[in-house]
Structure 1
Amino acid sequence: MRKLKVYEPKEIKTVYISGRITGIPLSEAKRNFEEAEALLLEKGYIPVNPMKNNHDPDTKGWIDHMLEDIGGLMRCDGIFMLNNWQQSKGARIEHYIAVEMDITVITKL
């Protein structure tokens, strides 16, 4: 029988926000991320909002955005998944990376 790996709780300071951007109006995506950012600040976290990395689809391609976003994620202690994250290929990739890299996943605050 395999033994489960036991992880010690760690202090979470910086939290990356992940959710759907592509396929919804940019204004809606920005609002969702801004609301999450405010909530994280209120709870005492340091939020990392990838929408502040200029997610205008006219300036860069999806892969370029993902490369920047994954770099931001890798510098965080946790990742906060917005309610719509499962409808986003990019957010599912970020979730997978977080799980594999032992970054704490937060789904509710």
Structure 2
Amino acid sequence: MKKIYIAGKVTGLTIEEYQKNFRLATKFVEQQFNTKKVINPILLGGIQYTWEENMKLCIKELMDCDTVVFIPGWESSEGAKLENYIARSLGYNIYELKWSLVSDCFSDIHLIYGEEK
């Protein structure tokens, strides 16, 4: 496994919401895959950039990965749908996180496309 990219909804959420989601997702993925090679796209761009500029930065990083992990709710994000399309087209392994309402954190991860590594 080269690197793992975290994908999820940003637009429409508060800064606090998406930062929390991506921070918790990064930590959970690092633990599940026993790696520090996790790309958190929130750390790549910023609010000073347009959506298009942020997506270009993210897609450049996505190209160096072979696995993508999606945060719940990604289906309503145009950016995450684009990242999903690219990842599927390139044969990446794609996982989806599950959120636990009881513990208010991610509780599980499952493969939705590709092969278990």
Unmatched tracts of structure 2, length 5 or more: 98-108, 110-117
Greater RCO, CA 8 A, separation 6+: 1
Query: How many residue pairs were aligned?
Result: 96
What is the rounded CA distance, in whole Å, between the counterparts of 1:76 and 1:61 in structure 2?
23
User: 1:28 aligns to what?
Assistant: 17
What is the rounded CA distance, in whole Å, between the counterparts of 1:54 and 1:93 in structure 2?
17
TM-score using structure 1 length: 0.83
Cα drift, residue 107 of structure 1: 1.2
User: 1:63 aligns to what?
Assistant: 52
The answer to whether structure 1 residue 75 and structure 2 residue 60 are counterparts is: no
Moved over 6 A (4+): none
What is the rounded CA distance, in whole Å, between the counterparts of 2:77 and 2:83 in structure 1?
10
Q: Judge conservation of contact 2:4–2:65 (CA < 8 Å) in 1.
A: yes
User: 1:104 aligns to what?
Assistant: 93
What is the rounded CA distance, in whole Å, between the counterparts of 1:55 and 1:29 in structure 2?
12
Q: Percent identity over the alignment?
A: 28
TM-score using structure 2 length: 0.78
Higher strand share: 2
Paired residue secondary structure (1:105)? strand
